[in-house]
Amino acid sequence: MAVRSVFRFVNWVLLLDTSGSPPIFELECISCGTSSEASEAPDGPQEWALKHAGRSGHEMFRAVHTSSFRATRTEVRPSPP
């Protein structure tokens, strides 16, 4: 009786998924750790950062950008016999 193994090789690709939530933007002050509201557009967080800089003198901010990605199989290649 012969034993035979079957291998299946699959390629995957990671793609930006726009079917759910759109990208979310947020800015965080590096000096004190406070952050803007999360927003679907960068305008709100940028305005918050400028106001925060004016009130506190803190000048450095970290941008947080959250997006969803989906792993998808691209092809199925049968293994050689």
The footprint of Zn ion (CB under 5 A) covers 29, 31-32, 56, 58
* Calpha distance 12→35 (Å, rounded): 36
Q: Which residues contact 16 (CB under 8 A, 6 or more apart)?
A: 67, 68, 69
Shorter beta-carbon distance to Zn ion: residue 51 or 70: 51
Q: How far is the CB of 71 from Zn ion (least distance, A)?
A: 37
Question: Could you tell me the smallest distance in angstroms from the CB atom of residue 24 to Zn ion?
Answer: 21
How is residue 80 annotated by DSSP? P
Min CB(29)–Zn ion separation in Å: 3
Of 56 and 66, nearer to Zn ion (C-beta) is 56
| Complex with Zn ion: residue 15 or 30, whichever CB lies closer | 30
